[in-house]
Amino acid sequence: VMLNDKEYELTPEQEEMSILEFATIQGDDIPSLCFLKEAGNNGKCGVCKVEVEKAGTGKVKTTLACRMKMEDGMSIHTNTEKTLEAAKKAVVRILNKHDFRCGKCVRKENCELLALSSKLRVRPEVKYSDICDDLEANIDRRSMGITIDRNKCILCGRCEAMCKVKTSTGSIKLQKIDGERKIAPLENVCFDDTNCVLCGQCVNACPVGALQETSELDRVEAALDDPDKHVLVAIAPSIRTSFGELEGEEFGVDTMKKVYAGLRAAGFDRIYDINFGADMTIMEEATELKDRLLNGGVLPMFTSCCPGWVRLLHNYHPECLDHFSSAKSPQQMFGAASKSYYPAQAGIDPSTVYTVTVMPCLAKKMEAHIPSMEVDGQRDIDAVITTRELAKLFKARKVKWRKLEEEEPDQPMSEFTGDGTGFGFSGGVMQAALRTAKHMVDGGDLDIQAIEWQDSGIPGVREFTAELGDLKARIGVVNGAVHAFDLFESGQLNDFAFVEVMACEGGCINGGGQPHVNAHTRVTTDFVAKRRSVLKNEQKESGFSKSYENKTLQVYYNDYIGEPASHKAHKYLHYDFQT
């Protein structure tokens, strides 16, 4: 084939591609707004016009690059006067219905529409205020996780496609409301009252500022400005590997110590790490697994640290709630310790402590809001902000990324092991739990690199047989919400002893609160693998240390909690997921 007068030999795989995808891989930036490869979305924005001459026809046709498949002998031109004019026209049509006041928009740094409008040098012909006099009426702020701003929506359908493909819940849809096509939660009720798992993959798919997290930044800033509050912050395992992207770094840069420094510069009183909480979760979860295996408890046990997965089970399989480990997530365990152990150590009144987490996740906002996630009247967590919100906080508090030097976090709630770090990617929780469970059951040492994952035959589910004492346990790792349904449909659920589910594909490194990755980069770069490599590297540098080796955590147990699964552990670190 010829692409812009350059010749290419099509591989069998490329013969299956659309012109748009093929050209993207060759480094050609055909403009488009609706194309999203991984969700199979295309054909809605009309921007990606190209000129094509099929072999032997002698006729040049203008067509949508996303809709036409590659064919041997084709000659394609992507940037002629005609295609440029067509793209401009299509983008102006979209801009004419879009609130193009970018100054205050949450996406102004990485909006795909703004970038394209600048590239094509087009502007709207219509003033948005002439077609809409009530901006607020177009904003849906009902959900704890997701806010929809329809003033910004371009009806590209990427969110709907992403939700369908990645979760199969179909929780967000383009639908007729008051006679107009609009994006909304199913039946236009609040997301939180639908089967939506609040994973936020729809938000990640959005090219503009139409879908965003429900922000808690105002509350965090108010706490920081309140001299009577002692404000703690802790970052999730997967923040260190993605935050740099928002400050102009490449994918796969470990920014952990600069993030600590930035948080200190932003005015937080104590800087901690949720990885410490992850090690804590493992101590409790592994103890529970051991107990269930040895004493005939309900199996398979399910991990319960991903609130997207917790919602999914509540909504679709409430009969299985007793499979959940009762261990709280690292976020909530950390929070409980921050309101009990920490103030006891520091000699301060727990009610003055305000605990903020930085999460890659929208469902974590919901988890923190669960009414009974509190102990003795102290909320575990007071506010949850996403990776993206943290970048905005740095900006608001004039924290200059380039000027920051690496810093250490505060102690005692920041030591963590390689296993704690592994929580950030799919399979990591399972590995960590098994290694500590094995140690507890037979004193053995499970070498992380010796775990040979197998394809289970169930889509998106890997498996592994663990030997714990005399027991052989079938272990499953479900990578993404949609595959949890595959596991249930396989009829094999009860053959497993322990199952990890993360709602987002790849795990939290690809969570719904992570930096946006545009549709083009999603085709050319395996950004999830790059983010994962940072955590794997940290694990290696830690000597693949295990949760039970965390010295500070041992002190916490010795001085405060007693044993895992003790009465006090249950009070602070467990939760009844059946409620």
Q: Is 335 near ligand SF4 (CB under 6 A)?
A: no
Question: What's the min distance (Å) between Cβ of 202 and ligand SF4?
Answer: 3
Query: Is 482 near ligand SF4 (CB under 6 A)?
Result: no
Whole-number minimum distance, CB 306 to ligand HC1, in Å?
Answer: 5
Closest residue to ligand SF4, based on beta-carbon distance: 511
Report the C-alpha gap between 514 and 521 in whole angstroms: 15
Q: How far is CA 401 from CA 215, 509, 565, in A?
A: 22, 21, 42
Tokens of 491: 């009829």
Q: What angle do CA 422, 505, 281 make, to 5 degrees?
A: 35
**206-237: buried (b, 16+ CB within 10 Å) or exposed (e) per residue?**
bbbbbbbbbbbbeebbebbeeeebbbbbbbbb
Task: Return the residue nearest ligand HC1 (CB atom).
Answer: 508
289-318 residues near ligand HC1, rule: CB under 6 A? 305-306
Binding status of residue 113 toward ligand SF4 by CB under 6 A: no
Distance CA 237, CA 272 (A): 11
Beta-carbon contacts of 383 under 8 Å, excluding residues fewer than 6 positions away, are 216, 219, 220, 223, 354, 355, 356, 357, 368
CB of 21 to ligand SF4, least distance (A): 22
Q: Is 343 in the site for ligand HC1 (CB under 6 A)?
A: no
Would you give the DSSP letter of residue 11? P
Q: Which residues make beta-bridge pairs with 385?
A: 358
Q: Determine whether 386 is exposed, middle or buried from the number of CB atoms within 10 Å of its CB (0-12, 13-18, 19+).
A: buried
* The only residue of 306, 430, 482, 573 in contact with ligand SF4, by rule CB under 6 A: 306
> Stretches 49-57, 114-122, 172-180, 328-336: which one binds ligand HC1 (CB under 6 A)?
328-336
**Binder among 157, 330, 350, 412 for ligand HC1 (CB under 6 A):** 330
Nearer to ligand SF4, 368 or 473 (CB): 368
SS3 percent helix, strand, coil of the chain, rounded to 5, is 45, 15, 40
Distance CA 368, CA 357 (A): 10
Q: Is 201 in the site for ligand SF4 (CB under 6 A)?
A: yes
Q: Which of 507, 522, 528, 538 binds ligand SF4 (CB under 6 A)?
A: 507
Any contact of residue 200 with ligand HC1 (CB under 6 A)? no
The nearer residue to ligand HC1, 207 or 515, going by C-beta atoms, is 515
Asked if 366 touches ligand SF4 (CB under 6 A), the answer is: no
Burial of 361 (0-12, 13-18, 19+ CB in 10 A): buried
Binding residue for ligand HC1 (CB under 6 A) from 152, 230, 364, 388? Answer: 364
Nearer to ligand HC1, 19 or 433 (CB): 433
Q: Tell which positions 506-525 bind ligand HC1, by CB under 6 A.
A: 507-508, 511
Q: Which residues bind ligand HC1 (CB under 6 A)?
A: 236-238, 274, 277-278, 305-306, 329-331, 359-361, 364, 423-424, 507-508, 511
